[in-house]
Amino acid sequence: MGGLQVPQRGAGVQVPQTNTGIQVPTMGGLQVPAAGSGFKVPSSGRGKNAGGLQIPQAQFPALNSPQRASSQLLKPRQKVALKPGRSLMDWVRLGNAKGKVLNGIGGRSCEVSVEELAKHNKLDDAWMSIRGKVYNITPYMEYHPGGEEELMKGVGIDGTQLFNEVHQWVNVEGMLEKCYIGRLKKTIDLSGGMKKLSVPATGPLNLAPPEPKAVVKPKARYDWYQTETEVTITIYAKCNTITKDRVVLDKHEKDLRATIYIDEYVYTIHLDLCEDISDNYQVRVRQGPINRIMIILQKTEPKKWASLGQPADGNNSTVLTKEREPIFRSCQLICCSPVSHDTNLYTFQQPNGTCMNIPIGYHVNLMMKCNGVDTNRPYTAVVPSLQHADVPNPAPGLEGRLLHLMVKLYPDGLLTQQMATLKQGDSVAISDFEGNFDESRLTKCSHLIMLAAGTGFTPMIRLLRWCLHEHQESTCKLKLLFFNKTEKDILWHDQLQTLSTENSERFEVVHILSAADTSWHGATGRVRSELVEKYIPAPKDLADKSPLVCICGSTPFTNEAYRLIQAHGFTSSVIHLFTA
Specify the stretch interacting with ligand NAP by CB under 6 A; choose among 87-95, 324-332, 450-458, 460-468: 450-458
The one among 456, 500, 548, 562 contacting ligand NAP by CB under 6 A = 456
Whether 382 contacts 406, CB under 8 Å = yes
The one among 250, 374, 432, 489 contacting ligand NAP by CB under 6 A = 489
Q: Does 580 contact ligand NAP by CB under 6 A?
A: yes
Whether 377 contacts 415, CB under 8 Å = yes
Q: Which is nearer to ligand NAP, 143 or 557 (CB)?
A: 557
Q: Which is nearer to ligand NAP, 281 or 410 (CB)?
A: 410
Torsion of CA 224, 226, 232, 235, to 10 degrees: -10
The one among 5, 19, 67, 427 contacting ligand NAP by CB under 6 A = 67
Q: How far is the CB of 556 from ligand NAP (least distance, A)?
A: 3
Torsion of CA 436, 441, 443, 448, to 10 degrees: -110
CA-nearest of 66, 96, 241 to 166 is: 66
Number of residues that bind ligand NAP (CB under 6 A): 32
Residue nearest to ligand NAP (CB): 454
Q: CA-CA distance, 444 to 58, in Å (whole number)? A: 42
Q: Which is nearer to ligand NAP, 39 or 433 (CB)?
A: 433
Q: How far is the CB of 525 from ligand NAP (least distance, A)?
A: 8
Q: Which is nearer to ligand NAP, 34 or 409 (CB)?
A: 409
* Gyration radius (Cα) of the chain, Å: 24
Q: Does 54 contact ligand NAP by CB under 6 A?
A: no
Contacts of 116 (CB under 8 A, 6+ apart): none
> Length of the chain, please?
580
Q: Does 455 contact ligand NAP by CB under 6 A?
A: yes
Q: Does 416 contact ligand NAP by CB under 6 A?
A: no
DSSP three-state, residue 25:
coil
450-459 burial code (b ≥16 CB/10 A, e <16): bbbbbbbbbb
Q: Does 453 contact ligand NAP by CB under 6 A?
A: yes
| Residue 218, preceding peptide bond in cis (omega within 30° of 0) | no
> Is the C-alpha dihedral spanning 84, 89, 93, 96 positive or negative?
positive
Q: Does 346 contact ligand NAP by CB under 6 A?
A: no
Q: Does 174 contact ligand NAP by CB under 6 A?
A: no
Q: Does 514 contact ligand NAP by CB under 6 A?
A: yes
Q: Which is nearer to ligand NAP, 208 or 515 (CB)?
A: 515
Q: Does 454 contact ligand NAP by CB under 6 A?
A: yes
Q: Does 164 contact ligand NAP by CB under 6 A?
A: no
Name the amino acid, one letter, at 149: E
Q: CA-CA distance, 510 to 508, in Å (whole number)? A: 7
The phi-psi region of residue 107 (left if phi > 0; otherwise alpha if psi is between -120 and 50; otherwise beta) is left
Interacting residues with ligand NAP between 376 and 395 (CB under 6 A) = 380
Q: Does 547 contact ligand NAP by CB under 6 A?
A: no
Q: Which is nearer to ligand NAP, 140 or 410 (CB)?
A: 410
Q: Which is nearer to ligand NAP, 8 or 524 (CB)?
A: 524
Count of other CB atoms within 10 angstroms of residue 512? 20
Q: CA-CA distance, 4 to 17, in Å (whole number)? A: 13
Q: Does 117 contact ligand NAP by CB under 6 A?
A: no
Q: CA-CA distance, 103 to 238, in Å (whole number)? A: 41
Q: Does 459 contact ligand NAP by CB under 6 A?
A: yes
The one among 557, 564, 565, 574 contacting ligand NAP by CB under 6 A = 557
Task: Give the CA count within 13 Å in the CB-facing half-sphere of 169.
Answer: 26
CA-nearest of 216, 173, 171, 158 to 192 is: 216
Q: How far is the CB of 383 from ligand NAP (least distance, A)?
A: 15
| C-alpha 181, offset from chain centre | 27
Name the amino acid, one letter, at 345: L
Q: CA-CA distance, 544 to 109, in Å (whole number)? A: 58
Q: Does 68 contact ligand NAP by CB under 6 A?
A: no
Specify the stretch interacting with ligand NAP by CB under 6 A; choose among 11-19, 256-264, 279-287, 553-561: 553-561
Whether 250 contacts 329, CB under 8 Å = yes
Q: Does 515 contact ligand NAP by CB under 6 A?
A: yes
CA-nearest of 149, 159, 107 to 128 is: 159
Q: CA-CA distance, 102 to 74, in Å (whole number)? A: 30
The one among 532, 552, 565, 574 contacting ligand NAP by CB under 6 A = 552
The one among 344, 458, 474, 500 contacting ligand NAP by CB under 6 A = 458
Specify the stretch interacting with ligand NAP by CB under 6 A; choose among 188-196, 218-226, 251-259, 483-491: 483-491
The one among 31, 136, 291, 579 contacting ligand NAP by CB under 6 A = 579
Q: Which is nearer to ligand NAP, 225 or 520 (CB)?
A: 520
Specify the stretch interacting with ligand NAP by CB under 6 A; choose among 63-71, 87-95, 187-195, 463-471: 63-71
Q: Which is nearer to ligand NAP, 324 or 576 (CB)?
A: 576
Torsion of CA 529, 535, 536, 542, to 10 degrees: 140
Q: CA-CA distance, 530 to 372, in Å (whole number)? A: 47
Specify the stretch interacting with ligand NAP by CB under 6 A; choose among 236-244, 331-339, 466-474, 478-486: 478-486
Q: How far is the CB of 265 from ligand NAP (least distance, A)?
A: 22
Q: CA-CA distance, 449 to 547, in Å (whole number)? A: 7
Q: How far is the CB of 577 from ligand NAP (least distance, A)?
A: 8
Residues near ligand NAP (CB under 6 A) are: 60-62, 65-67, 363, 380, 408, 453-456, 458-459, 483-485, 489, 514-515, 526-527, 552-554, 556-557, 560, 578-580
